[in-house]
Amino acid sequence: MSVMTYRDALNEALKEEMERDPDVFLMGEEVAEYDGAYKVSKGLLDQFGEQRVVDSPISELGFAGLGVGAAMVGLRPVIEFMTFNFAFLALDQIINNASKLHYMSNGQFRVPIVFRGPSGAALQLAAQHSQACETYYSHAPGCKVVTPGTPADAKGLLKAAIRDNDPVAFMEGELLYNFSDEVPDDDDFVIPLGVADLKREGSDISIVTHGKMIHVALQAASKLEKEGVEADVLDLRTIRPLDMDAILETVAKTNRVVYVEEGWPYAGTGSQIVTMIQEEAFDHLDAPVLRVTQADVPMPYAKGLEGAAKPSAESVLKACRQVLYR
């Protein structure tokens, strides 16, 4: 095992997949000459050249569409958005074209393309640059949605996403790029899409989450341990396809669930997952399932208000106490 940052794990995944498959190429704003807005593509231009590491204009709809066309004729594009907030400009290409073409062509076209970049709030980037975007993309049939929360997951899931024959929205945590942790020393380390990971084992309550909220959930679990409560912490890693078997297993074990997500509560990812838990595991529940989300407001710019709007270990702890009737 090697210790590396989330950023370097993504860089290593891109490098290994581009070495493995000459059809893989990277395109996006500042990915080449500048080494990427977050330095995820550092060194790739020097190694692979300007035909495979391509700087694009600030035109998300345009270069996303170019990527869709390239995927239709057999290439494997990785399209980087400087932030998924900017990808809203390309929703027509991602949803109406990439996500639907396999179905609409009766299987004549596959669209093996990865749309990747940071999602969710960072620090004081205000309302238009702080949105957790998973729900927008998981709502559409045909688009897979991946939200890695650790360096190892970032590497293994990105490699799987690049190899996948369907469109993948790969949403990274902007605040995680400098986070370091162990990553297996294996240039073929691949984590299958749609497989959740139990990050911490307990028996009293299940905290289910994804993306960078896994770290908030683990902080809350550590606080619960001091109160004599052991929490299962399940990291979904992939929102679509969803590992419902893993969710049902933890519900059956603990009988109490708190779902944590970075997005808004109304029609959020958690709404879907909680509904599925109620439908498929109702008899296992000893308490209603509670959700912890961002406040239902555009993200404030002011630092204090921003902190109050984000999910926190304390808000997760409060929800867990409610579910435990403590």
CA distances from 212 to 140, 175, 236 (A): 23, 8, 11
Which residues have CB under 8 Å from 280's CB, separation 6+? 244, 248
Known catalytic residues?
Answer: 60, 129
CA distance 286 to 111: 44
Alpha helices in 227-282 (DSSP H): 244-254, 269-281
* Phi and psi at residue 71, to the nearest 5°: -65, -35
> 123 in helix, strand or coil?
coil
Token digits for 325? 């009737």
CB 310 within 8 A of CB 262: yes
Which alpha helices (H) appear in the chain, and where do they start and end? 6-20, 44-48, 60-72, 91, 101-104, 134-138, 151-163, 213-226, 244-254, 269-281, 303-309, 313-323
Nearest residue to 129 via CA among 170, 73, 88, 189: 88
What are the backbone angles phi and psi of residue 183, rounded to the nearest 5°?
A: -135, 135
Strand, coil or helix: 188: coil
Distance in angstroms (rounded) separating the CA atoms of residues 212 and 130: 13
Measure the CA–CA gap between 88 and 94, rounded to whole angstroms.
9
